[in-house]
Amino acid sequence: MSNKNNYVAIMAGGIGSRFWPESRTAYPKQFLDLLGTGKSLIQWTYNRFSHICPKENIYFIINHSYIGHLKQQLPDLNDANIVSEPSRKNTAACAAYFAHKIMALNPDANIIISPADHLIMDEHTFKETCNEALNFVAKHDALLTLGIKPTRPDTGYGYIQYESEEELDKVYRVKTFTEKPSLELAQTFIKSGDFLWNSGIFVWSVKSIMQALEKYMPEMNEVFLQATEVYNTPAESTVVGELYAQCTNISIDYGIMEKAKNVFVLPSYFGWCDLGTWESAYENASKDYLGNAVMGDNIMVIDASECMIKAPKEKLVLVQGLEKFIVIDTPDVLLICERTREQQIKDYVAEVKRNKGDKFL
């Protein structure tokens, strides 16, 4: 039976601009079925965590403008489990808000805080890993992150260097965090063998994270202390809504994890991918014998190879002669972009905004 002291916070407020034009400000990637599986990323994430703790202990921290989409995709979710984020303030504010809210509810709580848009291939191992992590933080004053064995020198991920000696229960003490290194540095990390990718999934007891907030982010901690009387009451969203503007825009990595002394990593092997770009979707999609990932009922491919092609079911799309391209067709935008340039899609979106305003975003 799931432990009633275990809680999950799923952060689901991102815009996912690297998945433009499929992902839009009004309907971002976490609500999309990017790999043609029949479920959106947010539905997969919810299902995954429902095997780890009671459903009533799974919360979504989500921008208020996306609550309608969330209820539509997860109709059984209680309103009490939807934490409305008044504005985008990065992950430190999410983590601090949730810690204060759960502290008021259950001071013995252990928390997993996770993004909504990850792909996990081995759900059984994921469940085991999460349970190991929760057991560790329940017994130790530890801020734990799940680290992923790198398969390539990716410059889009954060890296965690860890001590060679195992601390306890397969858990290692963290030496350093490095955000999105250069290719040269990433190659050095891979060769050294003591680096892991930072999955962005954090595990801690509510007591440990509260102590860390007090010590390393006292100003933000003060902001949320002001709402102590109203957490888990009808007044919560109004009061927090007014306080949120005082929070700095900073990630939990910078705000706490890079400063704290009690940071640990659990090396994890559950087929993880941060579905952050079209390239990552291409890598994880099924492909034809020429390496084309094709999503759509009426797509014809002639003399094309290693392309990512996605189009509405009812639309006929014929692609000829392209090699290593991304072709994404939506009702009002068509993107044709070399796969090697896909990291620049964010820049192209900014260019569209400058030239065409918000209409196509």
- In the chain the domains, ranked by start, together with CATH numbers, are 6-274 (3.90.550.10), 281-356 (no CATH)
Over the stretch 274-305, which tens digit does the pLDDT of each residue have?
Answer: 777 888 889 888 899 999 999 889 999 999 99
pLDDT tens-digit map of 308-331: 999 998 999 999 999 999 999 999
In the chain, what are the helix, strand and coil shares in percent, each to the nearest 5? 40, 25, 35
Largest distance between two CA atoms of the chain: 65
Phi/psi of residue 359, each to 5°? -55, -40
* DSSP secondary structure letters along 314-348: T--EEEES-BSEEEEE-SS-EEEEEGGGGGGHHHH
Instruction: List, as own/partner pairs, every contact residues 19-26 make where C-beta atoms lie below 8 angstroms and the sequence separation is at least 24, other chains included.
Output: 19/277, 19/278, 19/281, 19/345, 20/333, 20/335, 20/345, 20/348, 20/349, 20/361, 21/328, 21/330, 21/332, 21/333, 21/334, 21/335, 21/360, 22/310, 22/328, 22/330, 24/361, 25/358, 25/361, 26/65
Q: Which pTM value belongs to this model?
A: 0.89
pLDDT, tens digit (0-9, with 9 covering 90-100), for 200-252: 899 999 999 999 999 999 999 999 999 899 899 998 888 988 888 888 888 88
